Copies of this chain bind each other. A is one copy, B any other.
Amino acid sequence: MKPLIVKLGGSVITDKRRPFTVRRATLTRLARELAAAKGPLVVVHGGGSFGHPVASKYRIAEGYKNKGQLMGLSLTHRAMERLNAHVIEALQKAGLPAIAVQPSACAVVSGGRIQSMELAPIKKLLGLGLVPVLYGDAVPDLRSGMSILSGDQIVAYLARELNAFRVILGVDVDGVYTANPKKDKRAKLVRKITPVDKELTSLDVAGVKDVTGGMRSKVKELISLAMHGVEAEIVNATKPGVIRKAIQGKRGLGTVIVRR
């Protein structure tokens, strides 16, 4: 059975303005919404105010340059595990047998891109009925020493390799806009994106920047996924019920990214 992959954005489940602050009520609500999934489910979450400040401080995304970054990688990974623990425990409370799968332990990363990934444990977990939970992570990198592996890249990789039937990306805006909707009132929501879309150049300005590249890199990952035949939708996970509806099969809640 093909799995559904749901990503919970770091800016949804944490307060990005305050380091190490989880949005507990939101997380509890989202865990209950995720429990609406009937078939195999993979959850991926971002770093938000846990991973990003530490990763930035130690310049993990720039690769290995000095010994001080070793403790930086250690601390960034630990920060992500702390956030992941909140997610796992929220899912458990909602009745989902969730289990953390560390990308840094199973992904072979080179130049910031996943070269391969040990998928046998994830496949077995899904087959049993467990919910593997992965996350954006600070990882050892064969070429640059260390790098940041975004949750979005993990989503796209898993969707291809596990032959996902659908991907849902929960963010803190209604979808992809022609400009940053938090700053520009003329920003328009884009309902559908296909690989040939001319509009894509204008999406360059639509992203809120963070260490993993914001909306622009999300769309890039999902377009490559659409070309592979996997449909994705970017929806607003801060609005109650949206993730649940998306999981139950509703389309058109945000921005759909499809092959045609």
Contact of A124 with B140 in the complex, beta carbons under 8 Å: yes
A37–chain B nearest beta-carbon distance, Å: 14
CB distance from A252 to the nearest CB of B (A): 34
Q: Which of B82, B97, B108 contacts A118 (CB 8 A)?
A: B108
Interface residue A241 (Cβ < 8 Å from any Cβ of B): no
Within 8 A of B (CB), among A81-106: 81-82, 85, 88-89, 92, 95, 97-102, 104-106
- Interfacial residues of chain A within 122-164, with CB under 8 A of chain B in the complex: 124-125, 128-130, 139-142, 145-146
Instruction: List the B residue with the shortest CB-CB distance to A67.
Output: B129
Stretch of A70-78, A200-208, A212-220 that contacts chain B: A70-78
Interchain CA distance A75-B95 in the complex, whole Å: 11
Name the one of B71, B92, B97, B100 contacting A97, with C-beta atoms under 8 angstroms. B71
Asked if B121 contacts A107 (CB within 8 A), the reply is yes
A196 interface residue per 8 A CB criterion:
no
Could you list 20 A-B pairs, sorted by A, with CB under 8 Å? A64-B128, A70-B97, A70-B130, A71-B97, A73-B99, A73-B130, A74-B98, A75-B92, A77-B99, A78-B85, A81-B88, A82-B85, A105-B118, A105-B121, A107-B121, A108-B120, A120-B142, A124-B140, A124-B141, A124-B145
